[in-house]
Amino acid sequence: QVQLVESGGGSVEAGGSLRLSCAASGRYTIQNYCMAWFRQVPGKEREGVAIIDADWSDVASSVKGRFSVSRNNAKNIVYLQMNSLKHEDTAMYYCGAHYGDCSENDIKSRRFFPAWGQGTQVTVS
């Protein structure tokens, strides 16, 4: 199973930017996987933010125009660039992965992703 490690979280003022990274390790290459960013606040369901595979990407409507997702296959890293951050973006951000291409429904539920990292906290004040 692919192993995932998130980094890049922190505290930022509203309107600021952060870039999260998700590094995949093991003998797996992310170009064969659908990679995802989800976020979760205590007491709520994990919410899909962005997904990306070798040919396609998508972001949730709540972050469209502010967040973008990209990948560096050579480094086996997926990024989430977050701009114009709002207080409501405060959450623990998780990276997920499943083998194969993404589908449109993947962003709707964490259950499509069997592999997860431990998360990185983003706090917007």
| 67-72 vs 77-82, strand pairing mode | antiparallel
How far apart are alpha carbons 75 and 114 in whole angstroms? 22
Average pLDDT in the chain: 95
Taking phi over 0 as left and psi of -120 to 50 as alpha, with beta for the rest, 84 belongs to left
Question: What integer pLDDT is reported at residue 2 of this predicted model?
Answer: 84
pLDDT in tens, 83-109: 999 999 999 999 999 999 999 999 999
- 25, 115 Cβ separation under 8 angstroms: no
Which pLDDT tens digits describe the chain residue by residue (125 residues)? 789 999 999 999 999 999 999 999 877 788 899 999 999 999 999 999 999 999 999 999 999 999 999 999 899 999 999 999 999 999 999 999 999 999 999 999 999 999 999 999 999 99
pLDDT on residue 98: 95
Distance of alpha carbon 125 from alpha carbon 86, whole angstroms: 8
pLDDT at 29: 83
